[in-house]
Structure 1
């Protein structure tokens, strides 16, 4: 047997070996990027939020400054290429020739960080998704042998990034399956499993603690009708958020001047932050506060005003942030709204209907329900929330409510922000 014949015979094994090696590399780089972005965002968001709390004038300065810096970076550093969010991933995976530019790693990393740090009411999850997708995209361009694995390697980067952000490899796998790929091949399984294992190993090595310190004790069968009610309300609320984002995206596109966009977005954002500082950035600082002792919370006029204001305004300020050039998506806003919505429903049920439900359970389930309905990915939401709090006590009610919220949302409006972007990208 000559050398050429031997190489052809061994080609499947050679391709497998190279796929394993590149998946290891993608997993590490994507996880490292995700962890770094998360840590930097948490650190500087706390600093800037504390300054805005001490000196309210900064509430009006930070958003316009941050959005302006992002605009000038885009104009003069990133070749005037607008960040389209997850739509960039869909465009790449659905085309054999179109790839995500290398610059998207830096642009989404920097712009996502600046958006949240300076008060933009979104999160770094979608910034991480696109940046890590770019890592996978760049990897498949380096060797001809990887060209046929384009979608698989892009998904491997995203899955590793989600794993690093939320400490849940299963959530990472389900996200790319439910939202990005929707098909499974052998190469897909190999590359994605290796990438999330590497990412999870890195998270384990740095001893990353759960984002929220939540202690779930139990749940009761009699609460199931109330869980179903929460799922329906979460589905309706997610449609409201989706329509808000699409309204700003589609109906205000006639405004061509970036300066007017920045001004409009900053006014909406700063005014909302002035009355509801909980809306600053990702909002995780506010969630950590209400997670401290929600079971002791009591309904009051001020609390009702706060809850209604937050639930109504969060989709608007998120949409305004994205419209005016901020980088991010609906991941963090969904978790934020879901927690406040769940606590709000639980307190109403306990105060006016003597339901005697456990508020902290409703907060956790609400987070999963709104996320599931917002991105139409119930299993992603299920495992992401369980990984986020490192507790699976509420596995069954979360699964039930995620399915209800998703199909409630789809009955009202067939698109999520992601599926709408995917339909546009086709």
Structure 2
């Protein structure tokens, strides 16, 4: 009996030892994939955007060329399989027979890259997450030994990808729990902690910069009622984003010719970009601009511009995704949240003399809309704190993220990831 117990313990030790090794490899591969996609996309997005600003015709040409390249590659190289985003991960984790095929790594990498640099109003986050999950999925397919740890290894890839992309190991773990797995066990914590730890070590070694350079000084308790208002409005706005994506995608199914989809999207997206260039690509350049000029005085022209962004960003995001672009609602949520926070703070200061700090509302708005769009308040909280490198707003961020999430869930209980056509 004693010998059997010792053998069992030794076997468990070998199991976890192998899981540690494969999780570390996943963390390394995923980190370099995420960082390479991030930097190459940032470079070419800025380059193409500067060309479009100088010559507006490119606002129409770039989306058409980018979406056409994605379609041709998908049809001729990537097995004519449409990228479904996060839903692909759900299909793999919830099925014993389905897996994420190896070609999903270059498919999402290349398609995400071309979508964003050509002006598609989404981001590389979901492309990175699915490609990272595929690394974990492929790892568990390589040996029968790992098949029982399929979900754990896929989640390890996801967690490491988010960590590398945003420099936030806690957000990586929480995203894996709140959005992908929703349950944990010992092997989950081992694999995900190791992959996230490796990813963190890589981004520290490479000295990756913060996504947004923000210095939060303080926040005041008199702003709490306005924070609550922002949380409610953010929840409503995220539902508008979700329903826009679902509605436009369903309408685009009526197009039988893919080139008609691409042409239609290019014309609408180009027209929108001519009016509001800030919507080009992932839109992070717009967040940086509004952070830089957050003390801008309220004016009617500014009001109209921000309203245009809040109304049109969900629509152009939905058009991009419906026409074959790769991505999701991650980056759009951050962009919408930043401008929504600025908008709410400006209105409160102008009409109610609230004397709230616009910069605080920009930061909290980003977390609030992200929280309510993906129903993951703790992921949004730690992610936004990490991308600005400041935890001063932790308490109001926590409050607003929870309010926005429950507001959105009360109005519409689905996200673009969890919705199925047969659910309502």
Deviates more, 1:31-40 or 1:250-259: 250-259
Q: Identify the residue that residue 52 of structure 1 maps to in structure 2.
A: 52
Q: What is the rounded CA distance, in whole Å, between the counterparts of 2:299 and 2:225 in structure 1?
A: 25
Q: What is the rounded CA distance, in whole Å, between the counterparts of 2:254 and 2:5 in structure 1?
A: 61
Question: What TM-score, normalized to structure 2?
Answer: 0.97
Q: What is the rounded CA distance, in whole Å, between the counterparts of 1:187 and 1:6 in structure 2?
A: 20
Question: What TM-score, normalized to structure 1?
Answer: 0.97
Q: Identify the residue that residue 235 of structure 1 maps to in structure 2.
A: 235
Q: Identify the residue that residue 305 of structure 1 maps to in structure 2.
A: 304
1:118-169 deviations in Å (ceiling 9; x for gaps): 0000000000010000000000001111111000000000000000111100
Structure 1 residue 250: deviation in Å? Answer: 2.0
Structure 1 residue 254: deviation in Å? Answer: 2.0
Q: What is the rounded CA distance, in whole Å, between the counterparts of 2:107 and 2:398 in structure 1?
A: 36
Which structure 2 segments of 5+ residues have no match?
A: none
Q: What is the rounded CA distance, in whole Å, between the counterparts of 1:255 and 1:209 in structure 2?
A: 43
Q: Is the 8 A contact 2:249 2:319 kept in 1?
A: no
What is the number of equivalent residue pairs in this alignment? 422
Q: Identify the residue that residue 170 of structure 1 maps to in structure 2.
A: 170
Q: What is the rounded CA distance, in whole Å, between the counterparts of 1:292 and 1:226 in structure 2?
A: 22
Match of 2:419, SS state, is helix
1:212-231 to structure 2, matched below 5 A, reads 212-231=212-231
Q: What is the rounded CA distance, in whole Å, between the counterparts of 1:56 and 1:259 in structure 2?
A: 22
Q: What is the rounded CA distance, in whole Å, between the counterparts of 2:5 and 2:188 in structure 1?
A: 28
1:43 counterpart = 2:38: no
Q: What is the rounded CA distance, in whole Å, between the counterparts of 2:4 and 2:81 in structure 1?
A: 45
Q: Identify the residue that residue 362 of structure 1 maps to in structure 2.
A: 361
Q: What is the rounded CA distance, in whole Å, between the counterparts of 2:366 and 2:18 in structure 1?
A: 39
Q: What is the rounded CA distance, in whole Å, between the counterparts of 1:267 and 1:60 in structure 2?
A: 6
Q: Is the 8 A contact 2:381 2:397 kept in 1?
A: yes
1:188-212 deviations in Å (ceiling 9; x for gaps): 0000000001001111011011111
Q: Is the 8 A contact 2:140 2:150 kept in 1?
A: yes
Q: Identify the residue that residue 92 of structure 2 maps to in structure 1.
A: 92
Which structure 1 segments of 5+ residues have no match?
A: none
Match of 1:418, SS state, is coil
Structure 1 residue 390: deviation in Å? Answer: 0.6
1:31 counterpart = 2:31: yes
Q: What is the rounded CA distance, in whole Å, between the counterparts of 1:7 and 1:142 in structure 2?
A: 25
Q: Is the 8 A contact 2:252 2:261 kept in 1?
A: no
1:292 counterpart = 2:292: yes
1:319-375 deviations in Å (ceiling 9; x for gaps): 000000000000000000000000011011111110000000000000000000000
The 3 A distance-change label for structure 1 pair 256 and 45 is same
Structure 1 residue 293: deviation in Å? Answer: 3.1
Q: What is the rounded CA distance, in whole Å, between the counterparts of 2:150 and 2:69 in structure 1?
A: 33
Q: Identify the residue that residue 278 of structure 1 maps to in structure 2.
A: 278
Q: Is the 8 A contact 2:252 2:323 kept in 1?
A: no
Q: What is the rounded CA distance, in whole Å, between the counterparts of 1:318 and 1:250 in structure 2?
A: 14
1:8-27 to structure 2, matched below 5 A, reads 10-27=10-27
1:87-120 deviations in Å (ceiling 9; x for gaps): 1000000001100110000000000000000000
Match of 1:417, SS state, is coil
Q: CA RMSD in A?
A: 1.6
Q: Is the 8 A contact 2:23 2:195 kept in 1?
A: yes
